[in-house]
Amino acid sequence: MPLTFPPLRNPVKHILRAVLVSSLCASSAVLAQDMNMEMNVHVDEDGMPSSQIRMQVPDADGNMQEMRVKGGGMRMEVKVKGDPGAPPPARREVVQEEVVEEQHSSRRRPRPPAEPVFRDCGTGRDPGCDMARDGQYAMDAETYRGFMTALKSQANEISRQEMAEKMLKRQYLTAAQYGQVLDLFVNEISRLEVATFAARRVVNPQHALGFASKWRNSISSEEYTEMIAEQQP
C-alpha cells in the first residue's frame, strides 16, 4: 500500500527519507516469508517521517529472535534481541546445570586424611606429646628445654620448687617430662610436694605410675601412687 506524507519544507530531505523507508520495506518484504513483521510509520508536525519495524526472525534451530529497525530523519537504528547464531536458551541452561553438578560433585569428594604431625617434646618418642589435657598440649621441646634450664639455674631446692610451681600454672607436661622434673629434687619431701602440685598438669598421668620408685620411703611412695592414680587425663 503506498505511503503518502504531507508537504515538507525541504524536498531533498523528503526524498531521502522516502528512499530510506522504501528500502527498509523492500528488504523486510523479502524476509517476511519466514518471519513475523510489524511496521509503523509516523510523520510529525514538521513533516519529518519516522518508521519503526519489529520483526521476529527464526535462528538456525527455528527459535524466534526479535529484531527492531527504527529510522527517523537521516538516522537508522537496528536493535536485535537475542543472538540468532547462539544455541537455544534451553540448551544453554542444560550446559550450565551440568557444570554446576560437576562443581557440586567435586565438593563432595572426601579429602585425603592429613598426615600425622610428630610433635617433639624434648624427650624422644614421647607418647604423651600428642595427648592433651583440658584442651592443652604439653610443652614442646624448645619450651621444655628453657623450663629445665631455668630450674637447674636455682641451686636452692626451695627456690627451685617455687619456680616450678609458678611456671607450671600455665604449662603442661608429659609423663616423661614430669619424671625428669622430679629428678631435679633430692629432698624427698620437696619432691613429693612438687609431684603433687605438678600431677594436675600431666597430660598422661597413667604413664607416671612407675615413678613411685623414686621414693625410698615406702610411705611417700604409697602416697604418690594413690595421688597419681586419682588423676584423670
pLDDT in tens, 158-197: 999 999 999 999 999 999 999 999 999 999 999 999 999 9
| Type of residue found at 232 | Q
Joined grid coordinates for residue 175: 609423663
As a whole number of angstroms, the distance between CA 140 and CA 206 comes to 20
| Type of residue found at 161 | Q
As a whole number of angstroms, the distance between CA 99 and CA 41 comes to 47
Tell me what the mean pLDDT of segment 57-83 comes to. 60
| Mean pLDDT for the chain overall | 75
Find residue 77's DSSP bridge partners.
Answer: 70
Joined grid coordinates for residue 41: 510509520
As a whole number of angstroms, the distance between CA 223 and CA 193 comes to 11
